[in-house]
Amino acid sequence: MSAERLKLVRDRVRGFPDFPAPGVLFRDITPLLKDPEAFRAAIDLLEAHVKVKHPQVDFIAGLDSRGFLFGPVLAQRLGVGFVLIRKKGKLPGRTESVSYTLEYGQAELEVQSDAVEPGQKVILIDDLLATGGTMRAACDLMSKLKAEILDCMVLIELTFLKGADLLKPFPLYSVLQYD
């Protein structure tokens, strides 16, 4: 990893204490998205990881909604397709869905039934991994379609919440880690 690129990305993530609730330090990627050089550096770091670890990829699958910011750009760079993993009720046609638990209740993710073929190699991407529930649900959804999950990738991992443990046996790659 390029230390210079990593520093540029880290410098463009800002913290907002007590948002959205007291005691929470919100990691805001808005400055990163506003800075083309920093955004390019983030994509460069993600791309470098994929090229080293996974030379054969069929699709990048982005989680609703911030995975849609990084996923299509990464997919385009890699010359592969992009798959939408959406909140329930947002996709036309036949879909597969998976329910998962949130702090405040239940939620569902869905994907179009023909998004991937059995055995196709998929990398999942989102902006942040906290407790891991949404990313795990996305893994379960891709597994339901019999895709081969190569990696779960995020820009930011909140390591103190131990979300990576919930993803096992699927690997996790994060550009930035916060304790």
Question: What CA–CA distances, in Å, run from 43 to 71, 78, 119?
Answer: 9, 11, 26
Residues forming a β-bridge with 152: 124, 172
164-173: long-range contacts (C-beta < 8 A, 24 or more apart)? 164/129, 164/132, 165/132, 166/131, 166/132, 166/133, 166/135, 166/136, 167/129, 167/132, 167/135, 167/136, 167/139, 170/139, 172/129, 172/135, 173/49, 173/53
Query: Which residue among the candidates 10, 40, 47, 66 is catalytic per the annotation?
Result: 66
Measured CA to CA, the distance from residue 110 to residue 64 in angstroms comes to 10
DSSP assignment letter at 64? T
Q: Is 66 labeled as catalytic in the residue annotation?
A: yes
To the query of whether residue 5 is one of the catalytic residues in this protein, the response is no
List alpha helices for 2-125, DSSP H. Answer: 3-11, 30-34, 36-53, 67-78
Tokens representing 6?
């990593």
Catalytic residue IDs: 66, 103
